[in-house]
Structure 1
Amino acid sequence: MQAHVGGRRRLPLLVQAGQGRQHVHPERLGLAELDVAEWPGTNTLGVSMNRVDFAPGGTNPPHIHPRATEIGIVMKGELLVGILGSLDSGNKLYFRVVRAGETFLIPCGLMHFQFNVGKTEATMVVSFNSQNPSIVFVPLTLFGSNPPIPTPVLTRALRVEAGVVELLKSKFSAGF
């Protein structure tokens, strides 16, 4: 018999190595997501985690987690971790290189990124205080939305010519 809470199974409590959604992105990173969909035992506990492997020069592009704070540890290599402040902070960029064994914290809803500044692979493990933190990739959201944001809106917002917007849209029309 399995308990159901919040519409989801509550078991299993354990996961196996290699379990979770696996992704490889053109930004030279690999991602293994482990959330309530793969680990039903976390249902209603408000936690999830990811492992991200970066090739040299790999980037986790600017993104937002609208439903979670993120805490991470760099397991190997070194990553430039950047957080963009809000308008009332003057859009300040806070950043530092985080090395193996060091941690970082990203407050809920703030745009941030990670970039492998080393010459070798880098790995980070991050945890979220939500069973479904969600993710909004800023470039994909602006230039790959469905239906597309009208070009005149983006030309005015970004202060560029329509050709630049169309070029950027063509880069993201198929997603990441």
Structure 2
Amino acid sequence: MPMKSLSFLLASVSLLAITLPLAISDPRNVQDFCVGVNSSANGVFVNGKFCKDPKLATADDFFFTGLAAGEPTDQDRANISLVSADNFMALNTLGISFARADYAVNGVEPPHTHPRASEFLVVTEGTLAVGFVTADQDGNRLFTKTLHPGDVFLFPEGLIHFQANIGNVSAVAFTALNSQNPGLSTTANAVFGCTPPIDPDILARAFKLDRSIVVDLQNKFTPTSSFTAV
């Protein structure tokens, strides 16, 4: 290859290496905030929400109340109070959401993933067993710890993770996620409770289970058994 052509090729590859990350990263805000509103009367559509005219924003737009203790559900003995751009409009475009988790004794948040966010969890009361599993190419390794008040744990973006109260009293944790809409896919609900259901013969082969067990699981994980997890 002629030297001139080689130099051009190297320059092109270098330029691509510099510009490609810029092209695929999230856009940075060019305004201080974008308080979401449900009408375009006083704003423009940005990242899934209409933005209120900044001149019309007040301190109340940046205030939220509602993170008091919640009543754990009968199913999983846990309750999640999620604060996202859907119920706290000031979070729109700011790339963060927040949640409080209350766990009764034996309460559990079953394995689930957040496809668009990593999660930072801090325990304030009780004792939690937490963990995440790496992807297939990383050997499906389990990283798990027992957390006490003041302890924190990080769940990387997109990886299956869980939390469970293993103490003899109720537990409380607070979490922060680096997306206004982190997304949620609960493993068992997605596999056994989807609509329409996956052919039980396929799941029986995939999980190496008897078909009757798969059918029983599909009856347990109906779409109505969904919940919000962190």
TM-score, scaled relative to structure 1: 0.92
| Residue identity opposite 1:44 in structure 2 | T
Whole-angstrom CA distance in 1 between matches of 2:118 and 2:66: 25
Structure richer in strand, relative to its length: 1
Q: Who is 1:44 aligned against?
A: 93
Question: What are structure 1's unaligned runs of at least 5 residues?
Answer: none
- Give aligned-pair identity as a percent: 31
Q: Which one is further off, 85-94 or 29-38?
A: 85-94
Q: Who is 1:114 aligned against?
A: 163
The 3-state SS of whatever aligns with 1:113 is: strand
Whole-angstrom CA distance in 1 between matches of 2:85 and 2:111: 24
Q: Who is 1:8 aligned against?
A: 50
The superposition leaves residues 98-117 of structure 1 with CA deviations (integer Å, 9 ceiling, x where unpaired) of 11111110100000000001
Q: Which runs of 4+ in 1 moved over 2 A?
A: 1-5, 7-11, 21-25
State the Cα distance separating 1:91 from its structure 2 match: 1.1
Whole-angstrom CA distance in 2 between matches of 1:89 and 1:130: 25
Q: Who is 1:175 aligned against?
A: 225
Q: Who is 2:135 aligned against?
A: 86
Q: Which one is further off, 83-92 or 155-164?
A: 83-92
Q: Who is 1:148 aligned against?
A: 197
Q: How many equivalent pairs are there? A: 175
State the Cα distance separating 1:17 from its structure 2 match: 3.4
The superposition leaves residues 92-134 of structure 1 with CA deviations (integer Å, 9 ceiling, x where unpaired) of 1110101111111010000000000100000110011000001
User: Could you tell me whether the CA contact under 8 Å between 2:72 and 2:104 is conserved in 1?
Assistant: no
Q: Which one is further off, 25-34 or 8-17?
A: 8-17
CA RMSD of aligned residues (A): 2.1
Q: Who is 1:103 aligned against?
A: 152
User: Could you tell me whether the CA contact under 8 Å between 2:72 and 2:103 is conserved in 1?
Assistant: no
Q: Which has the higher relative contact order, 1 or 2, with Cα contacts under 8 A spaced 6 or more apart?
A: 1
User: Could you tell me whether the CA contact under 8 Å between 2:130 and 2:145 is conserved in 1?
Assistant: yes
Q: Structure 1 residues 65 and 22, CA, compared in 2 at 3 Å: closer, same or farther?
A: farther
The 3-state SS of whatever aligns with 1:50 is: strand
Q: Structure 1 residues 23 and 135, CA, compared in 2 at 3 Å: closer, same or farther?
A: farther
State the Cα distance separating 1:24 from its structure 2 match: 3.5
Pair member with larger Rg: 2
Q: Who is 2:123 aligned against?
A: 74
Whole-angstrom CA distance in 2 between matches of 1:165 and 1:40: 41
Question: What are structure 2's unaligned runs of at least 5 residues?
Answer: 1-40
User: Could you tell me whether the CA contact under 8 Å between 2:71 and 2:102 is conserved in 1?
Assistant: no
Q: Who is 1:166 aligned against?
A: 215
Whole-angstrom CA distance in 1 between matches of 2:175 and 2:160: 16
Whole-angstrom CA distance in 2 between matches of 1:51 and 1:25: 18
User: Could you tell me whether the CA contact under 8 Å between 2:79 and 2:103 is conserved in 1?
Assistant: yes
Whole-angstrom CA distance in 2 between matches of 1:133 and 1:22: 23
The 3-state SS of whatever aligns with 1:81 is: strand
Q: Structure 1 residues 48 and 22, CA, compared in 2 at 3 Å: closer, same or farther?
A: farther
Structure richer in helix, relative to its length: 2
| Residue identity opposite 2:132 in structure 1 | I
User: Could you tell me whether the CA contact under 8 Å between 2:105 and 2:170 is conserved in 1?
Assistant: yes
Whole-angstrom CA distance in 1 between matches of 2:71 and 2:105: 19
Q: Who is 1:135 aligned against?
A: 184
The superposition leaves residues 17-71 of structure 1 with CA deviations (integer Å, 9 ceiling, x where unpaired) of 358x998461000110100011101110000011010001100000000010100
